[in-house]
Chain A
Amino acid sequence: MGLNPVEYPKCGAVEFKGSVFTLPVLHLHSVDLRVVVEGLARHLAKGLRFFEGAPVVLDLGAVRGQALDLVALNEHLRAQDLVPVGVRSADPEQQAQAREAGLAVLQGGARIEREEAPRREPDSLPLAKVVEQPVRSGQQVYARGGDLVLLAPVNPGAEVIADGSIHVYAPLRGRALAGVRGDTAARIFALSMEAELVSVAGHFRIFEEAPPGSVHRRPAQIYLDGERLVVRALDPWKDPAHSI
């Protein structure tokens, strides 16, 4: 039996094309693997389906100059269904280790993300997606290319996602992820802030108990100030901003 001749695609076998992705960034605050793995397991146990199988970038900014076993960490993360693709803010030692673990060494961070964020052309502004029914446990609503406006509650276990900002004119009790394609100017607004998780442009926080006391069950907004997520009451003249 003869071999079939290989058919070459007309445009060549492979081709490089630029494409912009926003990846969740996992900030390491400890080099103790046990602490990291347990902390992560606790987060994932809360059922964050959004991160299942997700590529993540490890930010080592807080542990620069400390010895870290990246090969072992890589394996632990994969066991938790995360796919580490690279590190950033790593010191030279850590960079060498990263290459050994098969991870890319990425430069910079927020600055690049901001430049790559999709620019909103005034004439192509998509209409906000408006949802009038409650978003219930297990449901997911995604507003592609624009804002998401919700006129009924987002219940625990529900997920609302937007490329732009998210506005909830009702209690926000589930998870809200704004700017998921990298718009760092996206914000989350809710008339009653009771979220389980919030994220802006891949920077996320989980509220294990409840959002910080001063905004819990109150009108509040969440936005990015540089690398920091900030939560603030919607009557800001009465209430200072809190990093969260």
Chain B
Amino acid sequence: MSEIIVVTSGKGGVGKTTTSASFASGLALRGHRTVVIDFDVGLRNLDLIMGCERRVVYDFVNVIQGEAKLKQALIRDKHTPDLYVLPASQTRDKEALTKEGVGAVLDELREDFDYIVCDSPAGIERGALMAMYYADHAIVVTNPEVSSVRDSDRILGIIDAKSKRAEEGEAPMAKHLLITRYVSERVAAGEMLSIDDILELLAVPLIGVIPESESVLQASNAGVPVIHDQATVPGQAYADVVARFLGEDKPLRFLEPEKKGLLKRLFGT
């Protein structure tokens, strides 16, 4: 039985696409057949982060509108055998995402895939509503700052009111909080919200914390999701998130400022 996971946030630029790419790759690296869909019609960039932008011929909207078959639009990931990308259209307008159209594509994908990861656009407009409508799980991405937390709260309320599960009175969507761009020094200095503050307000179980790191930008520029580089902190943190999602018990790491070794303290870095 396949599961649909939406990666959403309300606020823009918090790390949804970065998370979708690494999370979907992580599921595929563990042998689960996975597809990741870009719902950000008009602003697509999942294909860039996945490094497959040159291979986009047909897109999600083409499939919804019957201009291409699903098989023609799916792009096979070059790093992971069990992963496919369904890119967004660069040009169409968002109204193309209809409830029936999205539902039909998801139903077809369910036949082939274990996990369907939906990368939501920012905001609470049609694209975001469609990305979360059919989901079984929501990964709510939040940065440790007041406006991001407030928007996540808003999205959580919308999930509880407007998703298919809510409308049809089924069991509520499972919700997971992912804190990204976390800078322990700034939390310690009181410039960023602490994990406890965020959890108290949002009251959703924490699935992971991804520290702020240069390697995320390097990975996006290279078109290789950061989870593939297990030498990096965010790569390991995303691998932990995937493990926790699959039910493994992984303690949180990387929450304290890095202790500088003797050599670094002597010579700086």
Contact = CB atoms under 8 A, between A and B. Distances in A.
Contacts of B158: 138
Contact of B154 (A133, A136, A153): A136
Q: Is the interface of B mostly helix, strand, loop or mixed?
A: helix
A235 B154 CA distance: 33
Interface string A163-175: 0000000000100
B160 interface: yes
B108 to A, nearest CB: 33
Q: Give the size range of A's interface with the partner.
A: 10 to 19
A158 B161 CA distance: 14
A152 interface: yes
A156 B151 CA distance: 11
Contact of B150 (A134, A135, A153, A156): A156
A156 B154 CA distance: 10
A157 B203 contact: no
B1 interface: no
A152 B150 contact: no
A137 interface: yes
A155 interface: yes
Nearest to A135: B157
12 contacts: A134-B156, A136-B160, A137-B151, A137-B157, A138-B157, A139-B157, A152-B203, A153-B201, A155-B153, A156-B150, A157-B154, A173-B201
Nearest to B155: A136
Contacts of A134: 156, 203
Contact of A157 (B150, B160, B161): B150
Interface string A120-158: 000000000000011111110000000000001101111
Contacts of A152: 203
A157 B154 CA distance: 9
Nearest 4 CB-CB pairs, A to B?
A136-B157, A137-B153, A137-B154, A139-B157
Counting chain A CB atoms within 10 Å of each CB, the highest count among B154, B157, B160, B201 belongs to: B157
A206 B157 CA distance: 24
B116 to A, nearest CB: 26
Nearest to A139: B157
B153 to A, nearest CB: 4
A181 B202 CA distance: 31
A153 B157 CA distance: 12
Nearest to B150: A137
A173 B160 CA distance: 19
Interface string B150-180: 1101101110110000000000000000000
Contacts of A136: 153-154, 156-157, 160
A161 to B, nearest CB: 16
A136 B156 CA distance: 7
